[in-house]
Amino acid sequence: MLKKKRFLSLSEYTATAWLCATQAFDGNFLFVFAGYAVRMVRLLVMTAVFRSIPDTADLSLSQMLTYALLSSVLSEQLFLYTPATTALWEGSIINRFTRPVPVIGTFVAETIGKWVPSLLFYTLPVCLAAPLFGVRILPASAWNGVLFLVSLLLGISLSFAVDFIFAAFSMRMKNGCWAALAIRDAVTTLLSGSLIPFALLPKGVAAVFQLLPFGSLAGAPLSIFVGSGSAPQLIMLSVFWNLTLWPVCILYFRRSQEKMVSFGG
C-alpha cells in the first residue's frame, strides 16, 4: 500500500511537470523565442567583455568563455524561480493547497516542467554551436564533469530552498511580492557568481562570496566545470548549506502559510 501511494505521488508530479512543459507555447510563439534571443544577446555581450580581459593566474580566456556560455545555457537551473511568489500575487496559490500533493512538491514539479522547452530550443542549440564562436564547452577533465553534475544538482536543490524562503518572506510581507523578488534578484545576481566568476574578484571578496549559500547556486558548479575551484571543498559546502537551509525553508514556509493573504485567481 505504501509503495502504491509513492507511485501515485510520483505520477502526479510527473503529470504536473509535463503539463507545464507543454504550456510554454500556449501563448505567443514569437514571445517565447524573444526571451531566447535576449539571452543570446546577453551571452554575446558577456563573451565580448571577457575577451577584453587578460588571462589571470586563476582563470584563462578559454575558461572565462566557457564559464559565460555555461552560465547562459543553464541560467534557468542556476538562477531558478518557482511560480510561488507570482502565484501568491495572482491569487492562484490557493489552488495548490487543494491538490492531493504537498505545495512545495507541486511548485518543484511545475518549475522542472518549464525547463524542458528552454533546454530543447536554447541550451542544446547553443551548446552545439559553441565551437563556431570559439568556445570550448567541455569540462576541464572527465572527473570535473562528474563533479560538476553533482554540484549542479546540489545547487538546484539549494536554489529551490532559497526560492521558497523568499516566497515565505513574501507571504509575511502581504502585498510585497515584487519587493521580495527585487531583493532576491539583487542579492543572488551579485553573490551567486552567475554573472562574474569569483576568480576575477579580489581574493578576500571571492573567499567570502564562496562561503555564502548563494555561492553554491552558480559559482560552485561553474567553477568546477572550468577547473578553477577546489571541487571537494565546493561540494562539501553545498551539502552543508542544503542540510542547513532545507529544514529552515520547510519550517519557515509552513509557518508563513498561516499569515498568507492572497486575493485574485
pLDDT, mean of residues 8-17 = 72
Q: Residue 132 has which C-alpha cell?
A: 563556431
Least-confidence region, from 12-21, 133-142, 190-199, 218-227:
12-21
Percent of the chain with pLDDT over 70: 89
H or E stretch covering 48: helix 29-51
Relative orientation angle of helices 203-211 and 231-257, to the nearest 10 degrees: 50
* CB distance 136 to 226 below 8 Å: no
Residue located via cell numbers 562561503: 211
| CA dist., res. 34 & res. 144, Å (int) | 33
Q: Hey, how many other C-beta atoms are within 10 angstroms of the C-beta on 60? A: 16
Q: Where are the domains of the chain?
A: 2-257
Amino acid in the structure at residue 168: A
Give the global pTM. 0.88
Give the per-residue pLDDT at 30.
67
Percent of the chain with pLDDT over 90: 36
> What region does 261 belong to: left with phi over 0, alpha with psi -120 to 50, or beta?
beta
Give the per-residue pLDDT at 175.
64
Interval 38-66: pLDDT, tens = 889 989 898 888 888 887 767 888 999 99
Q: Residue 211 has which C-alpha cell?
A: 562561503
Confidence grade of residue 3 (pLDDT, cut at 50, 70, 90) = very low
Q: CA 254 → CA 170, 202, 243, 248, distances in Å?
A: 13, 39, 18, 10
* CB distance 147 to 231 below 8 Å: yes
Evaluate if residue 225 carries a pLDDT over 80.
yes
* CB distance 41 to 129 below 8 Å: no
Interval 155-193: pLDDT, tens = 999 999 999 998 888 888 776 777 778 888 888 888 888
Q: Residue 32 has which C-alpha cell?
A: 517565447
Choose between 142 and 59: higher pLDDT: 142
Confidence grade of residue 1 (pLDDT, cut at 50, 70, 90) = very low
Interval 64-108: pLDDT, tens = 999 999 999 999 998 888 888 888 887 778 778 777 778 888 899
Give the per-residue pLDDT at 24.
67
Q: Residue 41 has which C-alpha cell?
A: 544577446
